[in-house]
Amino acid sequence: MNISALSNLFIGATNGGHHEVSSSVTFTFAGILCAMIITLALEEKLHAKKSVIVGVYAIICLFAGAALGLLPFGPVVNVFDEKLNLPVYIPAVDWSVIAIIMGSALFVDITSKSGLFSWIAIKLTKTSGGDPFLLLIYYGLMTVIFSAVLNNVTAMIIVGSLTAVSLKKLERSEKLLGFLLIEGLLTNIGGLLTLISSVPNIIVGTSAGISFGRFFVVASPYVVVATAVTLFMGAKLFKIERLQGDEERAAAKNQVESFDENDGIESPGFFWFSAAVFLLFIITIATTSILPVLKDLGMGFVALAFAGIMLIRVKSTADKVYAKVDWDLLAFFVTLFVVINVMEHAQVLALIGKGLEEVIALGDLWGSAAMLVASAVFSSVTDNIPLAAMLAKILSSLQTDATSPMWWSVIFGANLGGNITPIGSASTLVAVTIIHKYNLPMSFGGFVKAAVPYAAIQITLAVFYVAIFLA
Amino acid sequence: MNIDELESVFKSAVKSRFEYQDISLQKVLLVDDLETDDAGAYIDKINAALGHVHDNFQIERLYFGPQETMAQLLNAIDNHDPDLICTYRNLNSSAWEFGFSLGEHLEVLTQATSRPVLVLPHPEPLGEETLSIATQVMVVTDHLTGDNRLINYALSFTPKDGRIILSHVEDEVWLNRFLDCVSKIPAIDTDLARSTIIQQITKEPNDFIKSVQESLASNRPSTLVESNVGIGSELNLYADWLKKHKIDLAVVNTKDEHQMAISGFAHAFAIEFRHIPTLLL
């Protein structure tokens, strides 16, 4: 039995066995949850990492929960009736999500050392011939695809870095702001394409039991339309146009030809090995839910196993790879799951669930629309991961059907909300970081002003898509 | 993987590409302090040497004796408007037998004019060996990457079937001082920094030399292009390389944007290797 199943079993057992909790306790913990969300929103101002912020709240929650008798101490029983003595905070964590994130991060990091992603990125740059409009289209599509198969943050780092270098080479740095903004917005569109593209997808998708294939089939039509609309708007609003005249085109082509796509490839053997394993990784992840054995082990195992295969290639420097794992992100997730678990025991999620029941009662059409917009607005001002984790838990506890549009409302809302403000998602924050690195003017308000027209159209499209095709 | 890492990957992928340009000489100006007969013989030697690599050029002579001033010389050069100035070390100086300087006139001339100056050994001590047909030409620099002008000039003095050696030396003293500084910064992995900096610092000129080879494969297929990239004491390395490759002509940049005087390395090179004809750009 895997850890996730064990965790679900534990959660299932405790759902039915909560202590009576007084409303004052519930409201106190709801206050702690609100305080945590506000603190997370002020992360930049406080100069504190997410893991530290949520870690502190996890300690407070666990201590208070234990002191008030809210936590189910005692052994956990698995399907073989074996009693396992685990600390109360261990089964609180959804380890399958952690495994997917950690495995994917390790896998992508090692694969990137082969030069595969930079090769693809530079090939596309050269194919554009240095034409700014074509660059925008190619970089936009690359952002969406990289966001889908890697993750939003990695995609933004790869494409954003290349954009800065190539526009400087083309002497078109004045277009950098527009490019980076559009790419930042597209990471959250691309992040909708597959189940593993973003953390909210992983959390909500796994809670709802949506397979990788179904996720892709449902999300891809929206992603195609939203990408096209975003690129069209970006080209118009930032006046990114095609080059005029043969001389201008020849000069631009000459400049991008100075990129050597093979520069980052230290070993052709490693390059082709990485390309093959990467393809296999995508195929395996996409079919995990139907593959024998693997469907039981889950996507987390697949991600960790592929990371293990790649680690063999860098076995002598594996310690350096570990050092590059985003431990802040992983610790953030672990502590967040702990906080949410305590909130569940304190009946805070049940309280929010009551509010959500009213939204759901509006019906599939209006309810899903309201849920999507609310999720987007909430995600825009704080981290979308706590929101996704909390709503996924509530929808699960309300025994929401896997085919319900509510799941998709949360997924679309949590992802697209990141396009309203620079703190709405990690990838837009990366975009703003690159913008500031190049001394381009972009305040919080400036970002909101520039991004809101795109976000409004993307969210409107999503509302119609969910309401018309999924409700 | 972070922004800085990826930026480094993409910055490294942007490579300077050599652009071949054919350089032709129409007018060569010999500046000398020789007697008329000796000057005539000297012109014949230049004709023979340059005629091997250039067609249709004419040589004019400008006498620069003890009575003339530097200002007059520069003025006269402007009036002649040559594509190449040809002269020798310690022009109009009795200090030619002391190997400690190029002579005040030559040092001023190389900086005051933007024209290339072909500096030959002083004619007196070496006689017949002052100038011969160059078949092995070496580009001498500590910054080869992107220097198309330097290489194109060197090529214009290399016979089509000759050999050009593109050299690049990183000063070991400066590099060690820099790496020593790095070793005192706890945030930087010293071994990693040392190996990667040394690798990167030599990679750039090697990449550029590859682009020269690719370009010449189509533009001058019978010219042999060789690479000499190293880290060490500049003058010691060049002493070895000049001897090893039996260099007939060295091509060096003299202008340094940070100083009025001739670039420190070019100055030291031209003095140290007095027997090698040197094209100063």
pLDDT band for position A6 (cuts 50, 70, 90): very low
Helix, strand, coil shares of chain B as percentages rounded to 5?
45, 20, 35
Residue A451 in this model has a pLDDT that exceeds 70: yes
Cα–Cα separations (whole angstroms), residue A344 to A6, A71, A87: 17, 10, 17
Residue A18 in this model has a pLDDT that exceeds 80: no
Looking at per-residue pLDDT, the higher value among B5 and B206 belongs to B206
Q: Of B169, B141, B166, which Cα lies nearest the Cα of B281? A: B141
Range of A274-278, B120-124, B125-129, B266-270 with top mean pLDDT:
A274-278
Find out whether A69 and A19 touch, Cβ atoms under 8 Å: yes
Q: Of A470, A464, A454, A456, which Cα lies nearest the Cα of A227? A: A454
Q: What is the pLDDT of residue A5?
A: 35
The residues near A320 (Cβ < 8 Å, ≥ 6 apart) are A314
Is the reported ipTM for this assembly greater than 0.90? no
Alpha helices in A68-151 (DSSP H): 95-113, 116-127, 132-149
Percent of chain A surpassing pLDDT 90: 40
- AA identity, residue A48: A
Q: What is the pLDDT of residue A257?
A: 87
pLDDT tens-digit readout, A30-87: 999 889 888 887 877 888 888 999 999 999 999 999 999 999 898 888 888 888 899 9
Chain B residues in contact with A157 (beta carbon < 8 A): 1-3, 6
- Chain B within 8 Å of A203 (Cβ-Cβ)? no
pLDDT band for position B214 (cuts 50, 70, 90): very high
DSSP state of B189: -
CB contact under 8 A, A122 and B10: yes
Best residue in B12, B14, B211 for a mutation probing chain A (most A CBs within 10 Å): B14
Name the minimum distance, in Å, from the CA of A257 to any CA of chain B: 9
Q: What is the pLDDT of residue A19?
A: 65
The residues near A311 (Cβ < 8 Å, ≥ 6 apart) are A106, A110, A318, A321
Chain A residues in contact with B17 (beta carbon < 8 A): 257-258
- Chain B within 8 Å of A165 (Cβ-Cβ)? yes
Find out whether B20 and B152 touch, Cβ atoms under 8 Å: yes
What average pLDDT does range B190-199 have in this prediction? 91
Check the CA dihedral A183-A188-A189-A193 and report its sign. positive
Residue A12 in this model has a pLDDT that exceeds 70: no
- Chain B within 8 Å of A157 (Cβ-Cβ)? yes
Name the minimum distance, in Å, from the CA of B190 to any CA of chain A: 15
Q: How far apart are the first and last CA of chain B?
A: 44
Rg (CA), chain A: 23
Name the minimum distance, in Å, from the CA of B27 to any CA of chain A: 33
CB contact under 8 A, A434 and B14: no
Nearest CA in chain A to B18: A258
- Chain B within 8 Å of A324 (Cβ-Cβ)? yes
Looking at per-residue pLDDT, the higher value among A345 and B96 belongs to A345
Q: What is the mean pLDDT of chain A?
A: 87
pLDDT tens-digit readout, A343-362: 989 988 888 877 777 887 88
Percent of chain A surpassing pLDDT 70: 96
pLDDT band for position A462 (cuts 50, 70, 90): very high
Name the minimum distance, in Å, from the CA of B10 to any CA of chain A: 6
Nearest CA in chain A to B17: A258
- Measured in whole angstroms, how far is the alpha carbon of residue A201 from the centre of its chain? 7
pLDDT tens-digit readout, A141-176: 999 998 888 778 888 888 998 899 889 888 888 899
Closest in B1, B13, B16 to A154, CB measured: B1
Across the strands, what pairs with B85?
B29, B117
CB contact under 8 A, A259 and B2: no
- Chain B within 8 Å of A261 (Cβ-Cβ)? yes
Q: What is the pLDDT of residue A463?
A: 95
Phi, psi of B163 (to 5 degrees): -130, 130
- Chain B within 8 Å of A183 (Cβ-Cβ)? no
pLDDT band for position A382 (cuts 50, 70, 90): low
Residue A283 in this model has a pLDDT that exceeds 50: yes
Q: What is the mean pLDDT of chain B?
A: 88
Chain B residues in contact with A115 (beta carbon < 8 A): 9
Residue A11 in this model has a pLDDT that exceeds 50: no
Q: A127 in helix, strand or coil?
A: helix
- CA-based angle A316:A317:A322, to the nearest 5? 130
Neighbour-count burial of A86, counting CB atoms closer than 10 A to its CB (0-12 exposed, 13-18 middle, 19+ buried): middle
Residue A15 in this model has a pLDDT that exceeds 60: no
What average pLDDT does range A368-378 have in this prediction? 90
- Measured in whole angstroms, how far is the alpha carbon of residue B104 from the centre of its chain? 19
pLDDT tens-digit readout, B138-182: 999 988 999 999 999 999 999 999 999 999 999 999 999 999 999
Chain A stretch 437-466, residues whose beta carbon is closer than 8 A to a beta carbon of chain B: 437
What average pLDDT does range A284-291 have in this prediction? 83
